[in-house]
Structure 1
Amino acid sequence: MEHKKEGKNSSDKVQIKPYKKDAEYSYTLGAFPTYELILSKPEKVRQVVAHSSYTDMDGLMDLCKKHNIPVEINDKLISKLSDKENCYVAGIFDKYSCRLSQDKSHIVLVNPSNMGNLGTILRTIAGFGIYDLAIILPGADIFNPKCVRASMGALFKVNFQFFESFDEYRRQYKDHDVFTFMLNGERTLDIADCSKSELFSLVFGNEATGLDDSFLNAGTSVKIPQTEDVDSLNLTIAVGIGVYVFNAKNLR
C-alpha cells in the first residue's frame, strides 16, 4: 500500500537503493531517530517511509506536513531497508557537512573504525553537552545507517568535521588545550585534579591501536585509571568517562 504525500511535489518520488558510502543520501531506521532528523534537520529530509502498522501515523503525518516532507506507506520498502523487526519508520535525508565551533570544546577521534561505536559516541557526547566532534581520517562512515541508528538521532544535533591529519585539526583550532587519552599517559584522570580549561580538545585513538606515542607530545597526555584485569577500556566507555570528568571540572 502506498500513501502519496502531503507536502513537496509527490511526483518527485525518491528512488531508494541500498546504502552506499558514495551516495548523496542516507536514511534513519526507526521512529525515534527519524523524528530527531525531522526536528533537527527538516531541510535535509527527502522523504519519510512508514509501515502500515505504525501506531502513531497521524502524529507522523502531521509533523511531516508541517515541514513539507513527503510520506509514503510502504511495508515492502521498510523491510528492505531494515533487518530489524521493530522498524516501522525510516527517513531518507541528504548528506551534509558541518564546521566545528571555534568557541566550544571538542572531542577528537583519530581513525575511528567501528560505526556502532561512532554512533554511540555521538549520543554520549550530546548527552554530556559536547556538540563538536572532529574525525581524523580515515574513519568509519558517520552517515552509514548503522552509525545513524546507534546515535539515536544525536548525529543531527552534533557538529562534525573531517580532517586529513591531526596537524590539520590543530592548525584550525589553535586556541584549544589538547588532552590525549593514552594507556601510557603522564597524568592520571581524576575529578579533583582534572585540568581546568576554557576550551579543551579530548583526543582518543581507535578501538584497535589507540594513539601512538607521537601523541604524548601533542598536548597533555592522560590515562584513565583501571585495574590490571583488562588491557584497555572500550572506546565509547573511555570517551564517556573523559567527557564526564572534564565537564564536572570545567562546567560547574
Structure 2
Amino acid sequence: MGTPSAGTPLTVGNTRVKEARKLSRRSVRTERRLFLADGPKAVEGALSVDCVVEVFATSHAADQYADLLDGIDVTLVDDRAIAALSDAVTPAGVVAVCHHIDAPLEHVVRASPRLLVICADVRDPGNAGTVIRTADAAGADGVVLGGQSVDAYNPKTVRASVGSLFHLPVARATDAAEAVRAAQARGLRVLAADGAGDLDLFDADLSGPTAWLFGNEAWGLPEELAALADERVAIPIHGRAESLNLSTAAAVCLYASARAQRA
C-alpha cells in the first residue's frame, strides 16, 4: 500500500487540513494554482499526470485503495477531516491536493484538433464536469471553458468529470469569441448548438475538423457569439420536450461528430 504518515491521523483542526480545505474557494484555487481531486478516480487521474502535491486518506481508504496508492506518501486523516475536504455526500475517503493542469488556448488549437468543445458561460459545475467527461468519451481533443464559465477545478466539476479532467486538455478563455476565432484560424468548422438553428444535426456534414459551441444552461448562446459560428445546428426534437439540457445536447452532438469522423 502507500506509505501512511506516522502517528495519529490529522483532525479537521489541523493546519494542513484547514489550508487544503480553503481550496474549495475559487479565489484561493486561482491564487495558489492548486485544487482538490476527490475520490479514487480523480486521484488516479491526477497521479497519472504527475500533478499531485499531497494525498489525504482515512486509514480505511488507504487499505481499500492500496493498489492505487502503492508507493505514494499518504497523509492519514480522520473521518471528520476527510468530510471537510470532500463535497460528496458520502466521501470515498481519499483526496489529493493537485497543481493546476490547464492548457493555454493556443496550445490546444495548435495541436490541430479534429474535435473540440467550446463552452460559453456554462455556470453549473456538474454540467461542466459532465461535458468534459462526455468530450473525453467521444474522443474529443480538448475542451475550452469560455467567458463566465465555472472553473475546471471547482470540486463538483472535478468530481463530475470522473477523472476525465486529467485525460484531455482543458483550456480557459476569458472571451469565448477568442476561442471561436482561434478554432476557425486552425481550420475547424465551428458549429453552434442552437435550438433555433437552420441546419438539422442529422443533415449536417460532420466528417471534417469540428468545434462545437455550447451556451449557458438557462439562456443559451448570446446572439453575437452564435453569429460567429459557421453554422447553427439544431438537434431535432421528435416528442413534446421543449429542449434538451446542456450535457445531453453535448453528448448527442459530440457522438454524432465522433461517428461521422470514424465512418
TM-score w.r.t. length of structure 2: 0.82
**Equivalent residue for 1:170, pick from 180, 185, 189:** 180
Using the TM superposition, give the Cα deviation of residue 235 of structure 1 relative to its aligned residue in structure 2, in angstroms: 0.2
Using the TM superposition, give the Cα deviation of residue 86 of structure 1 relative to its aligned residue in structure 2, in angstroms: 4.1
Q: Deviations over 1:189-237 (max 9, x none)?
A: 11xx331443111111110011133314521110000146222101000
CA distance in 1, matches of 2:157, 2:116: 19
Answering whether residue 89 of structure 2 is matched by residue 84 of structure 1, we say yes
**Equivalent residue for 1:50, pick from 48, 53, 57:** 57
Q: Report the 3-state secondary structure (helix = DSSP H, G, I; strand = E; otherwise coil) of the residue aligned with 1:61.
A: coil
- The alignment's C-alpha RMSD in Å is 2.1
Q: Report the 3-state secondary structure (helix = DSSP H, G, I; strand = E; otherwise coil) of the residue aligned with 1:121.
A: helix
Using the TM superposition, give the Cα deviation of residue 20 of structure 1 relative to its aligned residue in structure 2, in angstroms: 1.4
- Alpha carbons of 1:218 and 1:52: their partners in 2 closer, same or farther (altered >3 Å)? same
Answering whether residue 65 of structure 2 is matched by residue 60 of structure 1, we say no
Counterpart residue number, 1:4: 5
Q: Which amino acid aligns with 2:85?
A: L
Q: Report the 3-state secondary structure (helix = DSSP H, G, I; strand = E; otherwise coil) of the residue aligned with 2:213.
A: strand
CA distance in 1, matches of 2:193, 2:75: 46
Q: Deviations over 1:100-149 (max 9, x none)?
A: 14311211111101000100111111011113111221111210111100
Counterpart residue number, 2:197: 185
Unaligned runs of 5+ in 1: 6-12
Q: Deviations over 1:42-87 (max 9, x none)?
A: 1x2111111111243432331xx2xxx5311112321211253242
- Alpha carbons of 1:114 and 1:53: their partners in 2 closer, same or farther (altered >3 Å)? same
Identity of aligned residues (%): 24
- Alpha carbons of 1:217 and 1:46: their partners in 2 closer, same or farther (altered >3 Å)? closer
Q: Does the CA-based 8 Å contact 2:21-2:84 persist in structure 1? A: no
With 113-122 and 15-24 compared, the bigger mean Cα shift is at 15-24
CA distance in 2, matches of 1:179, 1:219: 6
Using the TM superposition, give the Cα deviation of residue 167 of structure 1 relative to its aligned residue in structure 2, in angstroms: 2.9
CA distance in 2, matches of 1:108, 1:194: 19
Q: Report the 3-state secondary structure (helix = DSSP H, G, I; strand = E; otherwise coil) of the residue aligned with 2:129.
A: helix
Where in structure 1 do 4 or more consecutive aligned residues deviate above 4 Å?
Answer: none
**Equivalent residue for 2:40, pick from 25, 31, 43:** 31
User: Number of matched residues?
Assistant: 235
Q: Deviations over 1:163-185 (max 9, x none)?
A: 23233123423111111110110
CA distance in 1, matches of 2:5, 2:179: 46
Q: Report the 3-state secondary structure (helix = DSSP H, G, I; strand = E; otherwise coil) of the residue aligned with 1:58.
A: coil
- Alpha carbons of 1:217 and 1:17: their partners in 2 closer, same or farther (altered >3 Å)? closer
- Alpha carbons of 1:58 and 1:178: their partners in 2 closer, same or farther (altered >3 Å)? closer
Counterpart residue number, 2:73: 70
TM-score w.r.t. length of structure 1: 0.85
Q: Report the 3-state secondary structure (helix = DSSP H, G, I; strand = E; otherwise coil) of the residue aligned with 2:26.
A: coil
Higher percent of residues as helix: 2
